[in-house]
Structure 1
Amino acid sequence: MSKNDGISKTLLVAFALCIVCSVVVSTAAVMLKPAQEANKTLDRKRNILAAAGMLDEERSIEEQFAQVKTRVVDLRSGEFTDAVDPASYEQIKAAKEPDRSTDLSKSEDIAGIGSREHYALVYLVEGSGGDIDKLILPVRGYGLWSTLYGFIALESDANTVAGLGFYEHGETPGLGGEVDNPRWKAQWPGKKVYRDGEVALSLAKGSVDPGSSDAPWRVDGLSGATLTSRGVTQLVHFWLGEQGYEPFLNNLKAGEA
Structure 2
Amino acid sequence: MSSQKESTARTLTVALLVCLVCSVFVAGAAIALKPTQVDNRLLDKQRSILAIAGLGDASMSGKQIKELFANTISAKLVDLETGVFSDAYNPIVFDPLKASKDPKLSSVLPASEDIAGIKRQERFTTVYVVEQDGQVQTLILPVRGYGLWSTLHGFIALKGDLNTVVGMGFYQHAETPGLGGEVDNPKWKGQWPGKTLFDENGDLAVAIVKGGVDPKSPQAEHQVDGLAGATLTSKGVDNLLKFWLGQNGFGPFIANLRAGEA
TM-score by length of 1: 0.95
For the Cα contact (< 8 Å) 2:208–2:225, is it kept in 1? yes
For the Cα contact (< 8 Å) 2:44–2:171, is it kept in 1? no
Q: State the one-letter code of the partner of 2:115.
A: I
Q: Percent identity?
A: 55
The runs of at least 4 consecutive aligned structure 1 residues that moved more than 4 Å come to none
Deviation, structure 1 residue 12: 1.8
**Are 1:47 and 2:52 counterparts?**
no
Greater Cα shift, 236-245 or 203-212: 203-212
Per the alignment, residue 178 of structure 2 pairs with 174
For the Cα contact (< 8 Å) 2:208–2:234, is it kept in 1? yes
**Are 1:35 and 2:40 counterparts?**
no
**Are 1:100 and 2:105 counterparts?**
yes
Deviation, structure 1 residue 212: 1.8
**Are 1:141 and 2:145 counterparts?**
yes
Q: State the one-letter code of the partner of 2:38.
A: E
Question: What do residues 168-194 of structure 1 show as CA deviations (whole Å, max 9, x unaligned)?
Answer: 222222222211110111110111111
Q: How many residues align?
A: 256
- Which secondary structure state, in structure 1, belongs to the residue aligned with residue 104 of structure 2? helix
Deviation, structure 1 residue 58: 3.4
**Are 1:109 and 2:114 counterparts?**
yes
- Which secondary structure state, in structure 1, belongs to the residue aligned with residue 129 of structure 2? strand
- Which secondary structure state, in structure 2, belongs to the residue aligned with residue 24 of structure 1? helix
- Which secondary structure state, in structure 1, belongs to the residue aligned with residue 216 of structure 2? coil
Q: State the one-letter code of the partner of 2:27.
A: S
Question: What do residues 133-160 of structure 1 show as CA deviations (whole Å, max 9, x unaligned)?
Answer: 1011110111122211111111111111
Question: What do residues 8-29 of structure 1 show as CA deviations (whole Å, max 9, x unaligned)?
Answer: 2222212221221111111111
Q: 2:158 aligns with which of 147, 154, 161?
A: 154
For residues 37 and 77 of structure 2, the distance between their equivalents in structure 1, rounded to whole angstroms, comes to: 24
Per the alignment, residue 163 of structure 1 pairs with 167
**Are 1:240 and 2:245 counterparts?**
yes
- Which secondary structure state, in structure 1, belongs to the residue aligned with residue 98 of structure 2? helix
Q: State the one-letter code of the partner of 2:183.
A: V
**Are 1:86 and 2:91 counterparts?**
yes
For residues 122 and 180 of structure 1, the distance between their equivalents in structure 2, rounded to whole angstroms, comes to: 22
Q: 1:226 aligns with which of 209, 226, 231?
A: 231
TM-score by length of 2: 0.93
Deviation, structure 1 residue 109: 0.8
- Which secondary structure state, in structure 2, belongs to the residue aligned with residue 207 of structure 1? coil
For the Cα contact (< 8 Å) 2:108–2:121, is it kept in 1? yes
Deviation, structure 1 residue 246: 1.0
For residues 112 and 168 of structure 2, the distance between their equivalents in structure 1, rounded to whole angstroms, comes to: 25
For the Cα contact (< 8 Å) 2:207–2:224, is it kept in 1? yes
For residues 143 and 31 of structure 1, the distance between their equivalents in structure 2, rounded to whole angstroms, comes to: 34
Greater Cα shift, 243-252 or 11-20: 11-20
Q: Which runs of 5+ in 1 are unaligned?
A: none
Per the alignment, residue 8 of structure 1 pairs with 9
Greater Cα shift, 138-147 or 70-79: 138-147
Per the alignment, residue 23 of structure 1 pairs with 24
For the Cα contact (< 8 Å) 2:147–2:236, is it kept in 1? yes
